[in-house]
Amino acid sequence: MNKKVVALAGSPRRRSFTEKILDLFLSGMEPAACKKYYPQRMAIKYCRGCMACWFKTPGRCSIKDEMTAFLKTEIETADVVILASPVYVDGFSAQLKTVLDRCFALLDPLLVLDEKGRCRHQRFKPRTQTAVLISTCGFSEKINFEPLRRHFAAVCQNLHWQNGGEILIPAGALGFVAGAYDEKYKAVQKAGREFAETGRVSARTMQVISKETMAAAEYKKMVNRFFEKRKRRVDDEP
């Protein structure tokens, strides 16, 4: 795959399960050159909604921080943008959402109607780009990804990104149980290969990856046993 791939590792945690899945996906995509960024470690301020990027300095944000160069040299010129985020209160992590808000500067204010007659903006500099969503969540049911999936689909519409697929792993605690997710990890690598070859992850592979492998009641028991232990450890601390 001779494309520019920019990946955003959006978890604020150092030993992030979502990043592990991102790395597996990228290893499947090899030898595509990919740059990985950590919004958590970058100095990126919140969008202020001043609209300078629309009217005063079209396409240029009034905030001068690491996002200025990142937007110009990475996001705007990427062929593929990978959004990797844990589910945080049913959505993207704040770090990733902050990057998305600042992407507002890519959009021309004038409204156009899309092929479905819906209002939207055009990009100042149109470019064919594809986005992939990678996410993990703590609850066991894959339905917990629904708000994020809908949000991702809407973001793709907004920013004119083609939706290249979703790599979603529920029951994140099983990621810490040896062997529990080995099949999924293989499928994630396969998804990376598929994406590199076709520009899309197949529906079948996405299904294998997001499949629930443990009933909610059993998962609850397993997780609570672990949490009770951790709570006791904290209680015992002097």
Ligand X SMILES: Cc1cc2nc3c(=O)[nH]c(=O)nc-3n(C[C@H](O)[C@H](O)[C@H](O)COP(=O)(O)O)c2cc1C
Q: Which is nearer to ligand X, 138 or 199 (CB)?
A: 138
- The C-alpha atoms of residue 221 and residue 238 are separated, in whole angstroms, by 28
In the β-sheet with 5-9, what is the strand arrangement from edge to edge? Answer: 34-37, 5-9, 80-86, 129-136, 161-169
Number of residues that bind ligand X (CB under 6 A): 17
Q: Which is nearer to ligand X, 151 or 200 (CB)?
A: 151
Interaction of residue 88 with ligand X, rule CB under 6 A: yes
Strands (E) located in the chain: 5-9, 34-37, 80-86, 107-113, 119-123, 129-136, 161-169
Q: Which is nearer to ligand X, 136 or 189 (CB)?
A: 136
Q: Which stretch binds ligand X (CB under 6 A): 72-80, 132-140, 193-201, 210-218?
A: 132-140
**Could you tell me the CA-to-CA distances from 177 to 70, 138, 147, 196, 210 in Å, in that order?**
37, 14, 27, 29, 17
Contacting residue, 24, 87, 96, 209, with ligand X by CB under 6 A = 87
In the region spanning residues 142 to 161, those forming contacts with ligand X, defined by CB under 6 A, are 144
In the region spanning residues 164 to 183, those forming contacts with ligand X, defined by CB under 6 A, are 172
Q: Which is nearer to ligand X, 144 or 157 (CB)?
A: 144
Alpha carbon of residue 182 to chain centroid: 22
* Cα 86–Cα 91–Cα 97 angle in degrees, nearest 5: 85
- The C-alpha atoms of residue 48 and residue 148 are separated, in whole angstroms, by 23
Interaction of residue 59 with ligand X, rule CB under 6 A: no
Q: Which is nearer to ligand X, 146 or 197 (CB)?
A: 146
- Interface mask (CB under 6 A) for ligand X, residues 6-35, using x and -? -----x-x--xxxx----------------
Contacting residue, 130, 136, 189, 205, with ligand X by CB under 6 A = 136
Interaction of residue 98 with ligand X, rule CB under 6 A: no
- Contact present, 29 and 1 (Cβ < 8 Å): yes
Q: Residue 231's CB: how many other CB atoms inside 10 A?
A: 11
Q: Which is nearer to ligand X, 33 or 226 (CB)?
A: 226
Query: Which amino acid does the sequence have at 22?
Result: L
Output the CA torsion sign for 189, 195, 197, 202. positive
Nearest approach, Cβ of residue 147 and ligand X (Å): 8
Binding residues vs ligand X (CB under 6 A): 11, 13, 16-19, 86-90, 136-139, 144, 172
